[in-house]
C-alpha cells in the first residue's frame, strides 16, 4: 500500500500524542517533595521525537553505505633502477645549481687546406761498413749485407738499387737510385 503525504500527517499527530501521554508527570511529585523539604530530583528533559520520513523520502535521502576504499600503495612506489648513475641523482635533486649559460657557437670553419705532399724517403741502408783496401789510385770498400759481402769502388752499382757515389776518408756516399736520394755510411775513421 502506498502512503500519500496527506495520509502521513494524521498518523504522525497520533504518534506524538501517544508519546506525550505516556510520559510520567513529575510536576505533582516535585511539589510534594518541595513541601516536605526534600531535595527534588529533576527528570531528564526529553525532546520531542522527530517525525519519521516516509519510505520514499528515506530512500531518496539515504546515503549509500561507504565502501572500503583500497589505496594501492604498491602502485605508487617506483621501481628502483639497479644502477643509479650520478646523472640520475643530479636530476632528482631539486637544489642542484642550474646554469643558463650557453656556449657560443663554434667559429665558422675555414676551407681545409690540402695537406702538403709527403716527400718520399729512402729506406734505411741495409749495408754496414766491413773494411777498406787501398791500391793507389783506386780505393776499395767492403760492405756487408746480412751474410753477403760486397767489394765495391766508386761508380759501382749494387743490386741495381744503390750506386757508390764517393769514397772519402771517413764515409762512403751512396745514391738510392729509385728516388735519387743520397745516403752515407760512416767508416768510423776520423
Which cell numbers hold the place of 98?
A: 642550474
β-pairing, 148-152 with 138-145? antiparallel
pTM of the predicted protein model:
0.40
What pLDDT was estimated at residue 175? 94
Q: For residue 95, what is its C-alpha cell?
A: 637544489
Judge whether 102 lies within some domain.
no
Provide the CATH number for the domain around residue 177: 2.30.30
Asked whether residue 181 is domain-assigned, the answer is yes
* Residue 154 grid coordinates: 766508386
Contact 154, 164 (CB under 8 A): yes
- pLDDT for 111 equals 82
Assigned domain for 55 exists: yes
pLDDT for res 78 = 64
Closest C-alpha to 190, from 174, 173, 172, 171: 171
State residue 52's pLDDT score. Answer: 62
Residues lower than pLDDT 70 in the chain? 1-6, 24-66, 76-93, 189-190
Quote the pLDDT of residue 27.
Answer: 56
Residue 5: its pLDDT value, please?
A: 66
What pLDDT, in 10s, does the model give residues 145-184? 989 999 999 999 999 999 999 988 889 999 999 999 999 9
pLDDT for residue 107: 87
- pLDDT tens digits for range 34-47: 555 555 555 566 66
Domain extent for 5: 1-41+48-61
Residue 163 lies in a domain: yes
pLDDT of residue 31: 57
Q: In this structure, is residue 2 part of a structural domain?
A: yes
- What's the total number of domains in the chain? 2
Amino acid at each position: 500500500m502506498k502512503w500519500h503525504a496527506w495520509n502521513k500527517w494524521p498518523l504522525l499527530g497520533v504518534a506524538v500524542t501517544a508519546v506525550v501521554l505516556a510520559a510520567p508527570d513529575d510536576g505533582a511529585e516535585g511539589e510534594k517533595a518541595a513541601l516536605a523539604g526534600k531535595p527534588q530530583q529533576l527528570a531528564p528533559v526529553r525532546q520531542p521525537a522527530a517525525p519519521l520520513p516516509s519510505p520514499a523520502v528515506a530512500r531518496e535521502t539515504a546515503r549509500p553505505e561507504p565502501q572500503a576504499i583500497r589505496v594501492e600503495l604498491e602502485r605508487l612506489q617506483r621501481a628502483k633502477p639497479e644502477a643509479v648513475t650520478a646523472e640520475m641523482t643530479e636530476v632528482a635533486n631539486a637544489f642542484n645549481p642550474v646554469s643558463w649559460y650557453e656556449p657560443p657557437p663554434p667559429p665558422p670553419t675555414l676551407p681545409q687546406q690540402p695537406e702538403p705532399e709527403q716527400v718520399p724517403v729512402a729506406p734505411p741502408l741495409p749495408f754496414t761498413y766491413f773494411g777498406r783496401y787501398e791500391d793507389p789510385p783506386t780505393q776499395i770498400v767492403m760492405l756487408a749485407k746480412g751474410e753477403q759481402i760486397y767489394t765495391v769502388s766508386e761508380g759501382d752499382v749494387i743490386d741495381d738499387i744503390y750506386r757508390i757515389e764517393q769514397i772519402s776518408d771517413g764515409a762512403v756516399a751512396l745514391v738510392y737510385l729509385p728516388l735519387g736520394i743520397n745516403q752515407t755510411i760512416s767508416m768510423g775513421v776520423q
